[in-house]
Amino acid sequence: KNQVEQSPQSLIILEGKNCTLQCNYTVSPFSNLRWYKQDTGRGPVSLTIMTFSENTKSNGRYTATLDADTKQSSLHITASQLSDSASYICVVGGSWGKLQFGAGTQVVVTP
């Protein structure tokens, strides 16, 4: 069973609208949580990285939250743009340095 579960698997949103992606994990011990954006046919690009002591981190229109007690994270996209269409991958780092990748949420932004 994957230790990093993402939901929804995919979603379609209208340009300009907001959306929130979820990531639940069971990785323990926990070191950090990262969100990556992966455009089709490209490698993932880092959006945010949070340690267990951080609750929120922003990168432009992307805001990630972390609740280390419930082992949940979310990625909020504000005022979506067509260029936000991509797969968003949640990656959890264990204290031993190993990274566990989620399967990603495929976001499609339509005009």
Q: Kindly list the residues in this chain that would bind other proteins in the complex (CB under 8 A).
A: 4, 34, 36, 41-46, 49, 89, 91, 98-99, 101-104, 106
Nearer to other proteins, 70 or 96 (CB): 96
Nearer to other proteins, 80 or 104 (CB): 104
Nearer to other proteins, 68 or 103 (CB): 103
Tokens of 12: 């379609």
Q: Tell me how far, at minimum, the Cβ of 16 lies from other proteins, in Å.
A: 27
Nearer to other proteins, 35 or 63 (CB): 35
Tokens of 107: 């976001």
Q: Tell me how far, at minimum, the Cβ of 92 lies from other proteins, in Å.
A: 11
Exposure letters 13-24 (e unless 16+ CB within 10 A, then b):
beeeeebebebb
- Phi/psi class of residue 71: alpha, beta or left (left: φ > 0; alpha: ψ in -120 to 50)? left
Q: Tell me how far, at minimum, the Cβ of 7 lies from other proteins, in Å.
A: 14
